[in-house]
Structure formats: C-alpha cells, structure tokens
Amino acid sequence: MRHLLAWTLAAAAVLAAAPAANPATRQCPRLTARWYGDNRARLQQVVDAHGSCSGRSGAVAVFDWDNTVTKNDVTDATLSWALRHDRLPRPARWKDTSAWLTDTADRALTEACGTGTPGPLRTSTRPRCTDEIVEIRENGTTTSGAPAFAGRWNHRRTVPQYAWVPQLFAGRTPAELASYARAARREALAAPLGATRTLGTHTVPAAVRYYDQQVDLIRTLRRAGFRVYVVSAGAEPVTEVWSRAVGVDAAHTIAIRSVLDRRGRITVRNEGCGGVPADRGAVIPYIDGKRCWIDQEIYGVRGARAWERQPARLRPALAAGDADTDVTFVGDATGAHLVINRNKPELMCRAYDDADGRWLVNPMFLAALPRRTAPYPCSTTARTAPDGGHGPLRRPDGTVVPDQADSVH
C-alpha cells in the first residue's frame, strides 16, 4: 500500500507539472498486451506523462535485450549456430583472444581445438572443442573446473566471458557475424518453445521468442514519440539483427562494439567509454558500463562524467532489465524502473525496496520462475563491488537495504 500510494503521488506530480496537451494529440497510444497486476496501467501513465501527446518531446526509453525483450540469449543462439556450422576462425594463439585468459584455459583450448594456419575451426566435428568454448562462455571455467580468466578488471564495468564472444569472431566482418545471427534467428524462432540442443556435453536452449508485452510496449512508446534504445552486453551486430524486428534500428542499438582493422574485420579490441580508451574488453555495456554507454551515446556526456548519475533531463524516462547487469541504468530512470524477475539479487533488492515508488516487477512472460524461498540477501551480499567482492546494498542516503522477500513470480 505504501508503494502504491508513493507511485500515485509521484505520477500525479509528474502529470501536474506537464504542459497542457495539444488538443490534436491529446490521446496517447494505448498499451494492449496483458501484464501482471497493475503494471500496464502504471506503464501507460509513463507513456501519457512523457510522450509527445503530453506536449513533451524527446523522452528516452532504454531496454536491455536478452531475457528482457526476448526469452533466451540471442548472442548465445548465434554462438551455438556458429559452433555447429564451423564459422569461428582459428586463432593463432588462444591466449590472444582475451586479456585475462589463463594459461590453463589456453592449454585446454589448444588441446581441444588446436591452433595454426588461418581457417575455420572444425567445431562441428570436434565436440571437445565445442565443449571447452561453451563451458568458458557459460561459467568462466574450463571443463576441468579451473578458472578460465584471471587478473584484475572492474567487475562493474566488464565480465571477461561476455567480452570473449565477439573476440572469438576476430577476423570475421560485422556483416558476416550479422549473417550468422540471421541464420540463428530463423532457426531459434522456428524451434518449439522449450526445445534444447546439445553442444559437446552441454544442453542449451534451442528456441528464442520475442515477448509480446515488450514488443507492444516498445511500439507504443515509439508511437508516443519516445526515442527507444536497446543496450546489451551482447555482440552489437547480433543484437542489431534482432532489435530491427521491433523497430529499433542500428543507430539506436548499443552493445559490445568491436574495433575493426583496416580491412573492416573484427578484432579482439572493443571501443571504450567514459574516458577509457579502446581495449580488450575493459569496458562493455555491463552494470555501471551500461550507464556509461547510455550517457555517452544517447546524451553526449563525455569523459569520466559519463560514469556518474546525470541530472533528470539526461536520464531515460523508462528503463527495463532482468539481471544485475541492468541495475544501474534501470535505477537511473525517472518515470519507471521495469524489472523482469529472474531472481537476480542486486536488481531484485532494488526493485522490492522500491525506494522511490516507481519500481515495477513483472514475472517472466514465458515460463516464469517459481518463488524464491529464501529472502534476497540485500543487507549482506547483494551488491557486486568493483573488485568482485560482495557486500550490503545501500540506498542513496547510505542506509542499508533490508533483506527482501520474493513476492512477484
């Protein structure tokens, strides 16, 4: 009740402050899909308050992609397709693919996959190679259980196995990677929902689906004059293939951007953000990195300031995500923080604490997870620190967020 009252008062304040609507554009586009609880009504309030029908212009909405707009991960679907069709190039040295790859992982990949003259990796007939690559991507370990990455990195700006996927395609062009993504998309949309396939000894999802509710929300926002963006920790040519279908073009899609060589081929380096130069994965759209890329690419904030929370006029009106990697930019939204519940502790602690009354929690639209039985450990270990440690989650005023029960599932 406290949160609903806070939301009602906040929405009333926003609507009261809005300029008078132009009679010709008074009726805002309406959401039509079914949502949990009163989420559709609350999202409609954001559309009405910030859309062009209110007399405003230029409002921004930002969506994470994987498991926020689609069920399952589209970069993983593309990697799966590439492994089954021998599309990964053979590196001269596996150690060169990541700044943090361990000697143990280098040896494991060399033994399973080989190195040598340029050419495609024959992963379709080398299940040990496929197994090693998938294990490192999924868990950051080799199939023997040893860490695949070591060293120092800022755990709120990158995660090596996410950065590693576009690095695996070094030597290919963005157009080639996009063609793999299109083939994977056709395959994944045709597969029955819930279908799986085997990669080495790993069982992975075979299907991907667009969430009808998110497609409806994105299209409604666009009709209401919002500038809608996607920000993802996937490979940008892959995400662009999928986002185009919901009306979000390449100019409005932000993901890991590989540096290209003189011949236009992908390299193991990616573009930097917030004053951090191009590097082998030090800064990607991940946790605080998503804020940086939004500030830099959408609002033109340059240098170290892009890591800071901006004034309200330089923040999205609506932001949506499903995982801890989204917690910073979703929390920056001024109108609504939309969270798809996948039981991720830092994000769910923020959502259930609902400090400003504008957090909306929705179960997964397909195959929703069951209720988490134990409370989220907000007061002890929910927050990921830059050094990779975990500690209590705090509100802006410094108070610790108490543990939260899972109530929307």
Average pLDDT over residues 223-245: 98
Bridge partners for 260 per DSSP? 266
* Mean pLDDT computed over every residue of the chain: 94
> What is the C-alpha separation between 294 and 289, in angstroms, rounded?
9
Question: What was the pLDDT predicted at 95?
Answer: 95
In the three-class reduction of DSSP (H, G, I as helix; E, B as strand; rest coil), residue 248 is classed as coil
Percentage above 90 pLDDT, the chain: 90
Residue 245 above 50 pLDDT? yes
Whole-prediction pTM: 0.92
Read off the pLDDT of residues 249-296 as tens digits, 9 standing for 90 and up.
999 999 999 999 999 999 999 999 999 999 999 999 999 999 999 999
Query: What is the predicted pLDDT for the residue at 251?
Result: 98
Q: What pairs with residue 253 in β-bridges?
A: 230
- 100-155 pLDDT tens trace: 999 999 999 999 998 877 789 999 999 999 999 999 999 999 999 999 999 999 99
Could you give the angle at which helices 39-50 and 2-17 cross, rounded to 10 degrees?
20
- The whole-angstrom distance between residue 333's C-alpha and the CA centroid of its chain comes to 16
CA atoms of 352 and 233, how far apart (whole Å): 24
- At 21, the pLDDT band (50, 70, 90 cuts) reads very low
CATH number of 2-71+210-264+284-391: 3.40.190.10, 3.40.50.2000, 3.30.70.260, 3.40.50.1000? 3.40.50.1000
* Cα distances (angstroms) measured from residue 250 to each of 50, 228, 229, 291: 24, 11, 9, 19
Contact 339, 330 (CB under 8 A): yes
Q: How confident is the model at residue 14 (pLDDT cuts 50, 70, 90)?
A: very low
Mean of the pLDDT values across residues 15-31? 59
Residue-level pLDDT at 336 = 98
Q: What is the pLDDT of residue 114?
A: 86
Confidence tier at 25 by pLDDT (50, 70, 90):
very low
Report pLDDT for 119: 86
**Tokens linked to 259:** 């540096």
Per-domain boundaries in the chain: 2-71+210-264+284-391, 74-205
Contact between residue 84 and residue 124 where contact means Cβ atoms under 8 Å apart: yes
CA distance 332 to 389: 23
How confident is the model over 154-188, as pLDDT tens digits?
999 999 999 999 999 999 999 999 999 999 999 99
Average pLDDT (340-346) is: 98
| pLDDT band for position 15 (cuts 50, 70, 90) | very low
Neighbouring C-beta atoms of residue 278, cutoff 10 Å: 15
Residue closest to 137 by CA, chosen among 107, 104, 159: 159
* The pair of three-digit structure tokens given for residue 278, joined into one six-digit string: 């191009």
Reported as half-sphere exposure (CB side, CA atoms, 13 A), residue 368 has a value of 16
Which residue's structure tokens are 């930097």? 272
Q: How much is the pLDDT for 57?
A: 83
Q: How far apart are CA 134 and CA 141, in angstroms?
A: 10
Grade residue 56 by pLDDT with cuts at 50, 70 and 90.
Answer: confident
Can you read off the two tokens belonging to residue 370? 């069951």
